[in-house]
Amino acid sequence: MSVPAVECQQVSITYPDGFTAVQDIDLAVAPGEIVALLGPSGSGKSTLLRGLAGLERITSGRVLMDDVVVDGPGVIPRPVHQRGCGMVFQDGQLFPHRTVGRNIAYGLEAAGVPKPERRERVAQMLQLVSLEGFENRPVTTLSGGQGQRVALARSLAPRPKLLLLDEPLSALDRDLRERLAVDIRQILTSTSIAAVFVTHDHDEAATVADRIVTIDAGRIITA
């Protein structure tokens, strides 16, 4: 049996004001599996995603990646860049002063990848997200859908072991969301990277994911 790409064991996240946003979550995502976290606003799904990424400190339980504890009792939490995961946010969070190509290359630059390899990897990512020829385009000229494709390419460029997507389509109109959901599914399956996809839209979850996990009031309802 393969080791999960990421696993939560009795994970809880409580804020300083005493509010528990995530409570006693057990969840394992297999290598290459796409899991959707589905739930209404305030259900705890985005908080759990941020806990996996290291953007929120868990208050109890453990988070493991490739069977290595990255957060938990007696462990110094690994920062985001040491967890081997990429993240796509709702608004994309592209760097406005960088071109499309340099946005995609950002993580590669930070890792010290030589320029020729960066250029080759950027070209591969542009092809993957169907934006060939966009390398020198200012990101300020992109449509919402194009911007999210660039954000996806930027997260995939460093070859993460896990991709975390926090409602990446919620700011787009319905027709575009439906089309891009299909595209994201195809892109993720072609890369064989495990992914956790947060959404409040059941149809979107069904389109993108292999498995849907429903969360409400900080607890898993169905898995």
Contact 25, 203 (CB under 8 A): no
Using one digit for the tens of pLDDT, what is the confidence trace for 69-114?
A: 999 998 999 988 889 899 998 877 899 999 999 999 999 998 899 9
pTM of the model: 0.92
Using one digit for the tens of pLDDT, what is the confidence trace for 132-181?
A: 999 999 999 999 899 999 999 999 999 998 999 999 988 888 888 898 99
Q: What is the dihedral of CA 140, 142, 145, 151, to 10 degrees?
A: -60
Instruction: State residue 223's pLDDT score.
Output: 67
Query: CA triplet 116, 117, 122: central angle to 5 degrees?
Result: 100
Instruction: State residue 176's pLDDT score.
Output: 87
Neighbours of 144 (CB within 10 A): 16
Name the residue ranges covered by the structural domains of the chain: 6-94+160-222
Q: Does domain 6-94+160-222 have CATH number 3.40.220.10?
A: no
Averaged pLDDT of the chain: 93
Tokens of 25: 């979550």
The residues facing 215 across adjacent strands are: 220
How much is the average pLDDT of 116-131? 95
How much is the average pLDDT of 22-27? 96
Tokens of 66: 């490739």
